[in-house]
Amino acid sequence: MITTLAVHGYRSLRDLVVPLGGLTVVTGANGSGKSSLYQAFRLLSDTSSGGLVSALAEAGGLSSVLWAGPETISRAMRNGEVPVQGKGSRRRPVSLMLGFATAEFSYLVDVGLPTPSRSLFAGDPELKREVVWDGPVLRPATTLLTRLRGAVKVRAERGWETVVEDLGPRESVLTTLSDPRGYPELAAVRAAVSSWRFHDDIRTDRRAPARQPQIGTWSPILDHDGRNLAAAVETVRESAWATVLDGAIADAFDGTTLEVTASDEGLFFLSLRQPGMLRPMGVAELSDGTLRYVAMATALLSPRPPSLLVLNEPETSLHPQLTEPLARLITAAAHRTQIVVVTHSAALVSAIGHEAPDAVQHELVKELGETRVAEQGLLTRPTWDWGSR
């Protein structure tokens, strides 16, 4: 289980350390930094598939996603005694850092500005530093692997051993050192991160992948854009979770039942049989909210749940009546997988709190443009050290 997510220098997340539980609900006003937190989580997961640099480029490039405020915010600035201002020159290099901790191992990546060159890729940000350590807190004694620019060192029986000298600036140790026998802790980090799944606002327009005919193969994981929805629904319906899924749909839509049929060509078709209708409604005919709810239920009831599921505003386009069924689904799924829900729905927060009183709840607030966890003090902020380049 991930116990801590840490973000430094990403949009309004100047320096955020968030403790996580088995089920964590993150809420906050518009602009408080919820989506940024969700995106930061995704960027970390992109690192394990080699996609961090391109994901940053898609987000507008490093310079646009970097924290736009001063390097440090003094007490006098916070108290409003002096205006917010940057000091003449930076004390530390420009850096965007992302990390997470579990009780067993932890990881951080530090991304910075490119070294000037004549290459057409000269604008790509670079992975300057990566660290893997034992346990939740980074200290010299717990460090197991460090990557500083091109050089990767691992702790060996006698001191440190350099295992790679020329790792490319856009490559991560997570994708390049792939031998699990040589680097068991790295393999553990990669296995954890690559099994995280994210569900954002799934597309529901007429051309949405979820509404298209789909080749059906066994699909324990719903694709984030829903392109395998029919197969994923059928996978749940042929598992021990069939009655729970049927119950969740009937609970939400008054006795409606799901149906999946297959054509001779192996195409799967999802439809809903609603009381009062003479024929089932195909997936192309479902309302946006119905389609979203079916997708959410399918993702949450996977027979092979991911180790971590992060849901961004799962309540989008759902009628308030569906808030409680959704909260029940989320809390039931949290018994099998770690879940983080990012939401601005107070109703969903309170429904989850009602179903799962031990869920961790965080409210994000903005102070001088910086996202902070409300009421987090020195004692409630998990210990987190970024180290240095």
Ligand X SMILES: Nc1ncnc2c1ncn2[C@@H]1O[C@H](COP(=O)(O)OP(=O)(O)OP(=O)(O)O)[C@@H](O)[C@H]1O
Shortest Å distance, C-beta 265 to Mg ion: 40
> What is the distance between the alpha carbons of residues 38 and 55, in angstroms, rounded to a whole number?
13
Rounded to whole angstroms, the Cα distance separating 166 from 152 reads: 8
**Is 35 or 194 the residue whose CB approaches Mg ion more closely?**
35
**Which residues on adjacent β-strands are paired with residue 26?**
342, 362
- Closest residue by Cα to residue 22 from 103, 98, 134: 103
- Output 35 or 274, the one with its CB closest to Mg ion: 35
Residue 266 CB, shortest distance to ligand X, in Å, is 40
Site string for Mg ion, 22-41 (x = CB under 5 A): -------------x------
Question: d(Cα 17, Cα 260) in Å, to the nearest integer?
Answer: 43
User: Which stretches of the chain bind ligand X, using CB under 6 A?
Assistant: 11-12, 28, 30-36, 65-69, 344, 369
d(CA 230, CA 293) in angstroms, rounded, equals: 14
| Nearest to ligand X of 38, 293 (CB atom) | 38
From the list Mg ion, ligand X, none, pick the one residue 36 interacts with, judged by a Cβ distance below 5 to 8 Å according to partner type.
Answer: ligand X
Nearer of residues 31 and 255 to ligand X, judged by Cβ:
31
The residue length of the chain stands at: 389
Beta strands at 96-102 and 370-373: parallel, antiparallel or unpaired: unpaired
Window 32 to 91, contacts with Mg ion (CB under 5 A): 35
Min dist CB 34 to Mg ion, Å, is 5
Whichever of 97 and 222 has its CB closer to ligand X, that residue is 97
Tell me how far, at minimum, the Cβ of 86 lies from ligand X, in Å: 13
CB of 83 to ligand X, least distance (A): 17
- In three-state secondary structure terms, 373 is strand
Nearer to ligand X, 68 or 151 (CB): 68
Q: How far is the CB of 387 from ligand X (least distance, A)?
A: 23
Give 18's contacts (C-beta < 8 A, 6+ positions apart). 4, 5, 6, 24, 26, 37, 362, 373
Pick from Mg ion, ligand X, none: which does 11 bind, CB < 5 to 8 A by kind?
ligand X
Contact 109, 127 (CB under 8 A): yes
Footprint of Mg ion (CB under 5 A): 35
